[in-house]
Amino acid sequence: MRYAVTHRTRYRYDADVTDSLAVAHLTPRSLPWQVVDDAVVAVDPEPADSSQSLDHYGNVVTYLQVTEPHRELDVVATSVVDVVAPALEPGSLAVPWELLRPLEDPTLAQAWRAADLALPSPLVEQPEAAHDYAASSLVAGRPVGEAIADLLRRLHADFAYLPGATTVTSTIDDVLERRAGVCQDFAQLFLACVRSHGLAARYVSGYLATEPPPGQERLVGADASHAWVAVWLGGDEWWAVDPTNDQVVDDRYVTVAWGRDYGDVPPLKGVIFTDATESSLSVEVDVVPTREGGVARAD
């Protein structure tokens, strides 16, 4: 699948901003299953300084500073990406899950690369409730593929997709109590569940191409940023799955960045210098495929 992706972020203020500094994760990664043909991050007003580099996890990070006084700031990221469904080595999902814990067995191939993704992180603590919830899926001796698939199924059945049920400050315990949330919540809850049992897993941000209701045209901006996870299977192999939709990641998913949790890979964050007392933020995302994919939820 080939996708043309547009991610537009608009800030509006009621007084001049004299200096705006931002860090963006908006450029898709180049990966064995994903080729980025073109990627541009355009900013209006034009930045006085901007650059790109790779962070600790290999994500493309854009740094920018706008010093021209402004009451509106537009950041528009566009890219053209070719994606195929990621493939796994035969037998990878048949390994008992408890043999894939990098902190339990640091002699595992490339365990050092996965170790920090088995530890608690700022937004993904490992409360006892998450450990207990996952326990019935992560049964001793169970193949990792079966264990993860069962946990995905249960999360999808037990938790409601409900925008507004959580906020940016909601914790793993909050999501467990409310039994509702959005893709960020489900991804981070899944991470808490598997990490509390010693498995390593990434938080992945990107886009999911979605399909409109039958008989309706696709709406520009109807797609949105999405989040899913990738579980470490040993060596340099990771299995990407989507807790929000109870499915394996395929060629409808455009990968932008990954890290320990959302805090490592927000699309855009920064600081401003201003006397403004009111501001607004709007985000539009459009993922246009050469042919339509299946129905899935994104937020």
Task: Estimate to the nearest angstrom the gap between the alpha carbon of 228 and the chain centroid.
Answer: 5
CB under 8 Å to 173, separation ≥6 — which residues? 127, 129
- How do the domains of the chain map onto residue ranges? 2-84+265-289, 92-263
Tokens representing 217 are: 């045209």
pLDDT score recorded for residue 235: 95
- The amino acid occupying position 88 is L
Backbone φ and ψ for 139, nearest 5 degrees, come out as -85, 140
Residue 109 has pLDDT above 80, yes or no: yes
Give per-residue pLDDT as tens, 208-217. Answer: 988 777 777 7
pLDDT grade for 296, boundaries at 50, 70 and 90 = very low
pLDDT score recorded for residue 222: 64
The dotted CATH code for 92-263 is: 3.10.620.30
Question: What is the rounded CA–CA span in Å between residue 252 and residue 77?
Answer: 19
| CA geometry: angle 62, 67, 70, nearest 5 deg | 105
Residue 95's nearest CA partner among 231, 188, 192, 196 is 231
DSSP H/E element including 113 = helix 111-114
Class of domain 2-84+265-289: mainly beta
Residue 234 has pLDDT above 50, yes or no: yes
Question: What is the rounded CA–CA span in Å between residue 262 and residue 269?
Answer: 12
Tokens representing 110 are: 């490339």
92-263 shares the fold of 2-84+265-289: no
Give per-residue pLDDT as tens, 143-197. Answer: 999 999 999 999 999 999 999 999 888 999 999 999 999 999 999 999 999 999 9
